[in-house]
Amino acid sequence: MQLLLFTPLLSLILSCTEGRFLPQANSRLVVVRKGIEATRNNEGWEPGANPNEGYPDQPAWSFDKAPPKASLQSVGPQKKDRSGTAAAWILNIVEGAHWLTLPPTFLGSYAIMLNHDFWLNMFGGSELRVLLFCLAPLIGFVGGLPPIVMHTYESWQVAPFRNPVEGEFVLQDYNNGWMRAVAYKYLFIIQGVGLVMANHGYNGFKTVGISLALILLSYVGDQSKKATFKINDQPVFPVPIVAIPLFLWGVIFNLLAAISLAGHISDNPLVHWGLIVAPLLTAAGGVVEGLIAESTFNQWIHLGAVIMLIAGASLQAYSFFQVPGSFSVVSS
């Protein structure tokens, strides 16, 4: 019995040696060896169903990137060659920059938690409002995860899109237009949720019914109608129209909350203006990435957009750390 239990483990170990020590008389070990060799040789799978193939592939360390996509060699009406900006080292910088959006958003939430008593007093003793305001910056990063998944699938190249739903699609030539649409849907919904969380944390719950209705609409509404338009003869902004009201609602009230909070900071201009500029800088980064980088397909512009996102989140985090020590009550 012990020998039977040990045999599968032994088979796995010996198979890693390319079978040099496999006893051919042992049928169990021979079957394991043949199975592993079939996997390596792309055998035993239905055509196109091998889960071991990737993009890039063989090898596929995190720093390995696929060659520039064929569509980057002739972009737009002027047929510009953007493949030179899709070198692996540039794409690795772009990828690293995306993950660098996490520390400042985390610190923004930590700054609220660190000064819990200050915010609790400011929010009328409501722990729920403090919690919503605390989590809002970090939710902003969570909203960026769907595009990060999309970029990983694309080997971190911004390139012309084609929709595989409409016909043939080759990943080595184009980016996946339908995947972009799905990523944008969740980006705008999750970012919208984070913004309304900040709004209700700061302003209370008088309009929470509207927020909940907009969240519901953004998710269950008709996703087939998109707000897409063209820039540089390229389709951009494939956001479901039903998700836009939630996002705009959150953006407007979040900016008004930032202006209101900045009104209580009079002795520290950096914090005062930091509270106002931070959401504007973050929004500008999103616009540059979604409208300019994804219509020019210049990877350096993509990087610049992400740097703006990092700067906005960092400025907000710094301001949140400083607010308790700079806050003053404005007499009405």
Q: For 141-170, what is each residue's pLDDT tens digit?
A: 999 999 999 999 999 999 999 999 988 899
> From its phi and psi, is residue 297 left (phi > 0), alpha (psi between -120 and 50) or beta?
left
* Token pair listed for 123: 């929010």
Backbone angles phi, psi at 148, to 5 degrees: -65, -40
| pLDDT-derived band at 41, boundaries 50, 70, 90 | low
How much is the average pLDDT of 52-70?
90
pLDDT in tens, 218-233: 999 999 999 999 999 9
Q: Is residue 31 scored above 70 in pLDDT?
A: no
pTM, full prediction: 0.85
> In terms of Cα–Cα distance, which of 278, 271, 281, 220 is closest to 246?
220
- Report, in angstroms and rounded to the nearest whole number, the Rg of the chain calculated over CA atoms: 25
How many residues are there in the chain?
332
By DSSP bridging, strand 234-236 and strand 229-231 are: antiparallel
77 — pLDDT class (breaks 50, 70, 90): confident
Strand 161-162 and strand 175-176: pairing?
Answer: parallel
Residue 124 tokens read as 């009328």
Question: How confident is the model over 123-132, as a mean pLDDT?
Answer: 98
Identify each DSSP E strand in the chain by its residue range: 161-162, 175-176, 229-231, 234-236
CA distances from residue 279 to 150, 163, 248, 317 in whole angstroms, order as listed? 24, 32, 13, 11
